[in-house]
Amino acid sequence: MKKPYKHIFFDLDHTLWDFERNAEETKREMFDRFQLKDRGIESFDAFKEIYTGINLALWACYREDTIGKEELNFRRFYDTLCILGINDRNLGESMASAFIEGISAKTYLFPYAKEILEYLFPKYLIHIITNGFEEVQYSKLRNSGMDRYFSSVITSEAAGARKPDPEIFQYAMRKTGAMCDESIMIGDDLEVDIAGARLMGMDQMYVNHDQKQHSEPVTMEVFSLFEIMGLL
Ligand SMILES: [Mg+2]
């Protein structure tokens, strides 16, 4: 039997909005635009390999609050350039702002993202809870034509806490007037979205796009957004 939810909370990145594809395309365009090959970096893949490791390490620092978002964004490019033999702060700064601007304009969504929102929209109040940067998340929603489906957008910056911290969920409940037992959190991250919602006593739907093996207890699990239509 379908539970009569009133509120649906979606994660954005890698749940609805195809972060990997959008980020990859942005970085490829930047590699050409900033003529990194002429600056001595042999290929986009060589750049990407270094960037990926640095970005992961910096995100871990950001989550532990040892660096802020500006430093994260600057250093993932500047540190990558330095390792590849280009010590150029100005270039690092230009790339950091080009990335934010470029990625916000990208619009690749996971298959059925729009269809599922169209399906849920008349039946529920739909919201976003995201750990992404405030200004970027609003642009992504607008540019990809998804903004009209969401009654509210809760960002970690506005809430002053990041998922899975219960504080961001409590903030979301206050802002939307939702109760945990009439809400479900839909997201792609077991530690962030699913564990966070579970801590609040809220039902969770794990969007397992990559078909990862796991043993987490989840209320529901789907491998494609399309499956949501049969569940909600
Ligand atoms: Mg996500």
Mean per-residue pLDDT for 146-173?
A: 96
Distance between Cα 13 and ligand 1 center (Å): 4
Pair 70, 131 in one domain: no
Given a cut of 70, whether residue 214 has pLDDT beyond it is yes
Is 1 part of a structural domain of the chain?
Answer: no
Pair 128, 212 in one domain: yes
The last residue of a domain, from among 104, 132, 157: 104
Distance between Cα 207 and ligand 1 center (Å): 9
The last residue of a domain, from among 86, 104, 122: 104
Distance between Cα 11 and ligand 1 center (Å): 6
**CA 22 – CA 178 distance, rounded (Å):** 32
The last residue of a domain, from among 50, 71, 104: 104
Given a cut of 60, whether residue 1 has pLDDT beyond it is no
Could you read off the pLDDT of 38-81 as tens digits, one per residue? 999 999 999 999 999 999 999 999 888 899 989 999 999 999 99
Distance between Cα 186 and ligand 1 center (Å): 9
Predicted confidence at residue 4, as pLDDT, reads 87
Mean per-residue pLDDT for 121-146?
A: 94
Is 139 part of a structural domain of the chain?
Answer: yes
The pTM assigned to this predicted structure is: 0.92
b (16+ CB within 10 A) / e for 35-58: ebeeeebeebeebbebbeebbeeb
Ramachandran sector of residue 136 (left: φ over 0; alpha: ψ -120 to 50; beta: rest): alpha
Please count the structural domains in the chain: 2
